A = this chain, B = another copy of it.
Amino acid sequence: MKTDALFKRAYNDALLLTAELQEGEPIPSETLLAARLAVSRTTVRKILAALADQGVVGGGGRQRFVRIATAAAAPFPQAETVPASVQVEKQFMEWMLRGDAKAGSLINELELARQFGVATTVIREFLNSFHRFGLIERRPSGGWVLQGFTSSFALELIEIREMFELRSAKAFADLPETSPLWHELRELRAAHVDLLGELDARFQDFSHLDSRFHRLVNAAAPNRFIDGFYDIITLIFHYHYQWNKRDERERNEVAIREHLTYIDALLSRSRPAIATACRKHLASAKQTLIRSTSGTGAEG
């Protein structure tokens, strides 16, 4: 049976929407709600039925209205609103980065399924799509081998990243003045400055900003393979930022300042300045990443 995490999330969102309305106010049309909640009308109807059950909305057909203005109905627990596939990724990364599994060991689908509380099918599908991240390998006879987050993985990752980033940064400098990306870059610069101002409170927001920035640079000359590669980068850095707490604030401050230099170089369109700033930033990202890898990276 398919999980109804989508329904539950949308239901919770709908509860928030109704809370904004006055008692007795009419409910927006199903089509409108569908657009607002980003789900199909089928799901909206299911939600409306559930809300009617809960007494939150009254009436029926075209005469639906808010019955209780204060959100009396309890929302679904947060955990149930996350699709199984997302939870599996999170749990798997945790399992791997926490060192519960050694590099080179076999992955047992059934065991993981039990441990994560999902069906083996979900694990199987996850492993299949996770393969592209380079952290696991398929054995010829079936089954999967864990490669692990080793320093050789980090080195190989960073090597490709440097090639792609330098290429994209150059392309960015060649963008016509009219490109909307320049505006986005300036906005992103402002976001960096903002974050730097309140770094003590929000220093964990950097991970997201980092991903946005590097994807913006790549948008100068889109290439689906580079985009795909940035998914890997984003994943690795996301979890890396989550798990490696050492000097987190300092690391992020350094990175933000490097970004700013890099952004200014891009804005100046000076090729040498861009290359220098880009290389410098990548070099320090490399150091950070390698320091946190698990092993020697000596593998077959």
Partner-B contacts on A (CB < 8 A): 40, 124-125, 128-129, 131-132, 134, 141, 153, 156-157, 159-160, 163-164, 167, 223-226, 228-229, 232
CB atoms of A225 and B129 under 8 A apart: no
CB atoms of A132 and B223 under 8 A apart: no
- List the 5 shortest-distance A-B pairs measured between CB atoms, nearest first: A156-B223, A132-B132, A134-B224, A128-B128, A160-B225
**A125-B125, A134-B228 known; A163 vs B167 contact (CB < 8 Å):** yes
CB atoms of A225 and B157 under 8 A apart: yes
CB atoms of B226 and A160 under 8 A apart: yes
CB atoms of B156 and A225 under 8 A apart: yes
**Given known contacts A125-B128, A132-B132, A157-B225, what 7 new A-B pairs fall within 8 Å (CB)?**
A40-B141, A128-B129, A132-B228, A134-B225, A163-B163, A163-B167, A225-B229
CA of A229 to CA of B164 in the docked complex: distance in angstroms? 14
Closest Cβ of chain B to A40, distance in Å, is 8
Point out the residues of chain B lying under 8 angstroms from A131, CB to CB: 129, 132
CB atoms of A159 and B129 under 8 A apart: no
Q: Which of A157, A167, A224 has the most CB of B within 10 A?
A: A224
- Complex A-B: 14 CB contacts under 8 Å: A125-B125, A125-B128, A128-B129, A129-B131, A131-B132, A132-B132, A132-B228, A134-B225, A153-B224, A156-B225, A157-B225, A160-B223, A163-B163, A163-B164
Point out the residues of chain B lying under 8 angstroms from A226, CB to CB: 160
Point out the residues of chain B lying under 8 angstroms from A153, CB to CB: 224
Point out the residues of chain B lying under 8 angstroms from A40, CB to CB: 141
Point out the residues of chain B lying under 8 angstroms from A134, CB to CB: 224-225, 228
CA of A229 to CA of B232 in the docked complex: distance in angstroms? 14
CA of A157 to CA of B131 in the docked complex: distance in angstroms? 20
CA of A159 to CA of B218 in the docked complex: distance in angstroms? 14
Point out the residues of chain B lying under 8 angstroms from A159, CB to CB: 223
CA of A141 to CA of B229 in the docked complex: distance in angstroms? 22
CA of A142 to CA of B54 in the docked complex: distance in angstroms? 30
Identity of the chain B residue whose Cβ is nearest the Cβ of A128 in the assembled complex:
B128
Q: Which of A125, A160, A225 has the most CB of B within 10 A?
A: A225
Closest Cβ of chain B to A92, distance in Å, is 16
Point out the residues of chain B lying under 8 angstroms from A125, CB to CB: 124-125, 128
CA of A223 to CA of B164 in the docked complex: distance in angstroms? 14
CA of A132 to CA of B124 in the docked complex: distance in angstroms? 16
Closest Cβ of chain B to A124, distance in Å, is 8
Point out the residues of chain B lying under 8 angstroms from A132, CB to CB: 131-132, 228
CA of A96 to CA of B156 in the docked complex: distance in angstroms? 33
Closest Cβ of chain B to A300, distance in Å, is 11
Closest Cβ of chain B to A281, distance in Å, is 20
Closest Cβ of chain B to A63, distance in Å, is 30
CA of A128 to CA of B123 in the docked complex: distance in angstroms? 13
